[in-house]
Amino acid sequence: MTQTLKTKVLIIGAGTGGYVAGIRCGQLGLDTVLVDGGDGLGGTCLNVGCIPSKAIIHAAGKFETVAKAAGGGTLGITAAAPAIDLSQTVAWKDGIVRKLNAGVAALLKKAKVKVIKGWAEFADAKTCVVKTDEGDIRITAEHVILATGSEPVELPFLPFGGDVISSTEALSLSEVPKKLVVVGGGYIGLELGIAFRKLGAEVAIVEMAERILPLYDKALTDPVAKWLEKHGVELHLGARAGGFGDGKLSITAKDGEPLQLDADRVLVTVGRRPRTSGWGLENMGVAMAGPFVKIDQRCATSMKNVWAVGDLTGEPMLAHKGSAQGEVVAEIIAGHDRIFDPVTIAAVCFTEPEIVSAGLGPNEVAGRDDVIQSVFPFAAIGRALAIEAGEDGGFVRVIASKADHRILGIQAVGQHVSELSNSFAQMMEMGAVLEDVAGTIHVHPTLGEAFHEASLRALGHAIHI
C-alpha cells in the first residue's frame, strides 16, 4: 500500500546543498521533507568525498613525517621505520564520517525536517514516489528543491569494477597498492595519488593535457609538479589511457608510442557529472543547460516553484557553493528577497603543496594593462620556514585594479594555504581594496602575513622583500 504525504517543501538529495537547505527551511518554519537516496546524510562530500579524502590525506601526511624521521632524521627527530594498517586507517576515517552523519541527523531533527531514506522518482514537477524499505510513499509538494549532486565519470574502456576504481573505492581500500596508476591529473586524482605516494605506493599519473591541474595557471601548479618529481611520481602528460588487463594499463604517450604501465589498481578520476538520470528529471519539464539543470540568480528552474542547487546546476562543483545556494532557496521560499550572486567562490586543491584560487587569475587578465599583479613568496615568511613550508616555491599572489585598487583575484600555493581561503573570499566579498588589506594588522608569525605583504608590494612598499 502506498502512503501519501503532502508538504510545503520537498528536497531531493541529502548532500551539502540539500541538507543545508533542509535545516534552513526548518529554521524558517517551513514544513519540509528531505529524501535521502544516495550516499547518506551529507552526500558525496561527507561520505565519500571531501571529508574522508582529507582524513586519508592527513593520515598520509603523518605517515610521511614518521618515514622521514626514520630515513635519516628530520628536525633532529629520529624514529623507527613506520608501518601502516590501512584497514585501521579506513576504520578511523569511517568513524569520523559516522560522527558527522549523526551530527547532520541531529541538526535536521532539531529543525523538524522529516527525513525519508529511499530513492525518489518524479511523475511530474511536484509529485514523486519514494521507494523505501517500508514501502512506497507518494509525496506532493508546493516547492521542490533538486539537490541530487554528481557522480564520477566512467570511461567506457575502463569501466569501474575489480581493480579499476573511482575515488569512492580508493577511500576504502584495505591495503596500500604497490603500484597505483591514476587516470586524470585534476585535483581529485592528484590529491589521492599524492596521499598514496606518501603511504608508500608507486604512483603513475596519466593526464591528457600538457600539464597537471590544467584549470590552474602554471605558476600555481609548478610547486606541485616539483613535489611529484622529487618523490618519484611518474607523469605521463599529453597521454591517453586505454584498456586494463593482466595487471597492465595500456596508454598512448604524447609522441604516439604505446606503453604498458604495471598497476595493482587503476584509479579513474577524469571528472564528475551531474546526477540527472534515474529519478524522473525528464518528467519535470525543467530546462537544461547542457548536462546541467538551468537556473537563474534565484536558483529557480524554468518550472514554477522548482529549484535546483549544487553540482546539478553546473560549475564550480563545490560543496560550499551548494550549501550557499541551499540557504538562498530556503529563504526565498520563506518570502525573503534573496539572490545567489557571490563575488567569488574560492576553490582549494589539497595537494602537496595546497593550492587556493579566488576570483580572477593571471590567465583571465592576460594582456590587460589596467591591473596590478603582485607576488610574495612564503620563503620570506618566518612562520612558513618554521614549519618547513617556505622552501617549496609557495607564494601568495594578489591581482587588483590599477585604477581603484579593488581586489580582483587572490591565489596561493604552499603548505596549509587552504586555511587562507576564507580570508581571500571574505576580502573579495566585502569589495576590499589593496589598502584595506595593507591597513589590517596581520598576526605574526602566521602564513597570512604573505597576503599582507603581497598587498603592500602591489602598493609599492612591501616590508620584507
Active site residues: 444
How many angstroms separate the Cα of 66 from the Cα of each of 84, 269, 412? 11, 29, 27
| Max CA pair span of the chain | 75
Distances (CA, A) of 289 to 15, 81, 283, 296, 301: 22, 53, 16, 11, 11
**Contact between 204 and 180 (Cβ < 8 Å):** yes
- Helix, strand, or coil (residue 414): strand
C-alpha cell at 197: 605516494
Other beta carbons within 10 angstroms of residue 230's beta carbon come to 10
CA distance 206 to 252: 10
The C-alpha cell at 112 is: 523538524
At 276 the three-state DSSP class reads: coil
Pairing of strands 32-36, 3-12: parallel
Q: How far is CA 55 from CA 49, 165, 172, 278, 419, in A?
A: 10, 19, 12, 31, 16
Ramachandran angles phi, psi of 410, nearest 5° = -140, 130
Q: CA-based angle 257:261:262, to the nearest 5?
A: 160
Going by C-alpha positions, the residue among 336, 340, 272, 319 that lies closest to residue 14 is 319
| Order of all β-strands in the sheet with 248-252 | 240-245, 248-252, 258-262
C-alpha 315, offset from chain centre? 11
3-class SS of residue 360 = coil
Backbone angles phi, psi at 283, to 5 degrees: -95, 0
Describe the strand order of the beta sheet including 179-183 as a list of residue ranges.
164-165, 265-268, 179-183, 202-207, 234-237
